[in-house]
Amino acid sequence: MVGIAIAELVQQVRGEFIGAEPMDGPLVLAESVLTELVLTGAVPLSQARTGCITLVDDVKNADKLIGTHASAVVTPKAIPGLPIPQIVVANPHEAFAAICKRFNPAVVFERRHGSHPSAVVHASAKVDRETFIDAGVSVDADCTVGPGCHLHHGVTLMPGCKLGRDCQLFPGVVLYPGTILGDRVTLHANTVIGAHGFGYKLVNGQHIPTSQLGWVEIEDDVEVGANTAIDRGTYGVTRIGTGTKIDNLVQIAHNCTIGKHNLICAHVGIAGSSSTGDYVVLAGQVGVKDHVQIGDRVQVGAQAGIASNVASDQTMLGSPALPHFEQAQVFATLGKLPEMRKAIRRIEKQLAKADKFE
């Protein structure tokens, strides 16, 4: 790994450099360290090793640096007596992210045009000349792909799909027939958009699929994580609103309407015909019942279960979910249940004795 002088990093993040300061001695040759110390990586404190720079985002956590093997640290304020050099910055997370990118630069996909020889593009498909179709991609009949898109290895577009400009579809993504993507949509690996919804009716003792004749429409600037599934509508559209970000392993069922700029975390399941407003946050493993409407700016805590409509600007916790103040009272009461049970038993015994004397 190529090393980077700490002086370069100080300059890059416009930080203040403070040399090592042993507990029993003066500042250690700050200028010498600034010019001579070379770092080989940037890692969290728990993974720190010699040659690496790490991060402490609050001086209250300075004691965690005791015994560290790190060779330097990014901090929001100078920490007295620290035995390793510091880079002091106003926003340590922003600075540390910039430093991490120096050591592990993000992969920038080359903007290429045309199709890989192994790609299969139907004669009726319209693929913009500024788009790149990678190895093993299948683009079926009547598809339209706008400029600047990149369909990575093994992507499948079934008939009638439409993509706007600058979309990124990572390996293994599958778009079922009629799926519509807006501009700058990112779909991570193995995501499936437009599969048939989970709808059946019982006929003569057998589960018979109901109609699944709709489609999925994903608006501009949406990002969908790996292995997520969004089902097509029964007759109409399942819609994901502009700017919404969806994590890995999320299930959004048929006929749902997801508002703009939502944040939907991993393992969320949204049952059919439900809707969310704008700027809704669903934390990990939230479950939403079918035919439920969630208002704007609602925040739902992890593992909560939404069983009925939620008005705008609420924070919901627990399962079944309640407004956070009510749920806090429930949680507080739960901790007292063993004591309350003992008290009830004592009262029952006292009442039983009283009955004997009547």
| Residues designated as active site | 254
Q: Which residues pair with 299 in a beta bridge?
A: 281, 315
Distance in angstroms (rounded) separating the CA atoms of residues 271 and 218: 18
Stated as kind and residue range, the H or E segment containing 347 is helix 337-356
Which residues of 2-109 form beta strands (DSSP E)? 4-5, 16-18, 38-39, 41-42, 52-55, 72-75, 86-88
Which has the closest alpha carbon to 62: 43, 47, 78? 78
Q: What's the sign of the alpha-carbon dihedral 27, 28, 29, 34?
A: negative
Question: In terms of residues, how long is the chain?
Answer: 358
What are 281's strand-pairing partners? Answer: 263, 299
Q: Which residue's structure tokens are 């007295």? A: 80
Give 215-232 as a DSSP string. EEEE-TT-EE-TT-EEEP
